[in-house]
Structure 1
Amino acid sequence: MYQQFNEQFAAATRQFAETAAQVNRLALDNAGAVFGLQLAAIEDRANATFAFLGEATQVRDAEGLKDLWPKAAQVARENIERGVATGQEVIGRTVSTNEQIASIAKAQLESTARTTQANVEQAARNATQKAEAYVDSATKGSKPAK
């Protein structure tokens, strides 16, 4: 009996470890992708900002400053748009990863439920057989009352 329990426990532990490794791999892949997206967005925004600042340092008169304002607004708008687009993509990837993790968890729970149900049914059959055998042996071994 202990051997069967140990085998079931070892199998459950192995399955848990495999599932945890799979979930961790998904989470790490998502974190790497998100980090890459954000780093690329920061790089793009920094390049655009520094290019604008380079132009701004070349301004020598009021007319040049007047021409600089629309460019400043354009750079700011593009930076905001890039930030929002990156944020949306990050959220989309994270939601997708969470759906995959939820799918793995659901499959794990369903598998565990099936295994547990099968074990309970087997235990119930064994208990019924033992009870019937006990009743049969008790009735055969006793003498009818007079």
Structure 2
Amino acid sequence: MSEYFNTQALALSKSFADAAFKAHTLAVEGLERVTNLNLKALETNVAATVDFLSEAAEVRDFDSLKTIFPKGVNLVKDSAEKFYANGQEVFGVTVKTGEALSQIAKGSFEVANDSFKKQVSAAQADFSKQVNGAAKKATR
């Protein structure tokens, strides 16, 4: 009887280890995608800011300041829009990763449940055979 429980525990442990490995892989891939999105956004924002600052460094009088001021406002507006869009993309990646992780967990529990049911059925059948055999011997 303990053989069935040991086999079940081993199968359950293997199943959870496989699920944990898959979940870890998905989490790392999601983190990689989020990092790439953030780095690309940072790169474009830094490039735009450097261009603006190099142009702003050439301002020497009030008329030049009047022409560069709208560019500065436009830079801030574009940066805020890109920041918001990047946040939405990161959120989308996070949601997709979470959904994939929940599917792995659900599948792991279903596999464990099915395996447990098979082991219990086999144990019940074996136990029934033993009881029936013992009952037949007792009646002889």
The question of a shared fold, defined as TM-score above 0.5 by the shorter chain, is answered with yes
Q: Indicate if the aligned counterparts of 2:30 and 2:93 stay in contact, CA closer than 8 A.
A: yes
Residue equivalent to 1:54: 54
Residue equivalent to 1:100: 100
Residue equivalent to 2:66: 66
Offset, 1:100: 1.0
Structure 2 gaps of 5+ residues are none
| Segments of 4+ moved more than 6 angstroms | none
| Structure-1 separation of matches of 2:97 and 2:49 | 33
Offset, 1:59: 1.3
TM-score (norm 2): 0.87
Residue equivalent to 1:123: 123
Residue equivalent to 2:133: 133
Residue equivalent to 2:22: 22
SS at match of 1:123: helix
**Cα distance change, pair 69–45 in 1 and its aligned pair in 2 (3 A):** same
Percent identity of equivalent pairs: 33
Offset, 1:16: 2.7
Tell me the C-alpha RMSD between the 2 structures.
2.0
Amino acid at match of 1:98: G
Offset, 1:33: 1.3
Residue-by-residue CA offset, 1:106-130 (whole Å, 9 max, x unaligned)? 1111011011011112222222232
Structure 1 gaps of 5+ residues are 142-146
SS at match of 2:84: helix
Residue-by-residue CA offset, 1:71-107 (whole Å, 9 max, x unaligned)? 1110001101111111111111111111111111111
| Structure-2 separation of matches of 1:81 and 1:7 | 57
Residue equivalent to 2:38: 38
SS at match of 2:90: helix
- Which structure has the greater CA radius of gyration? 1
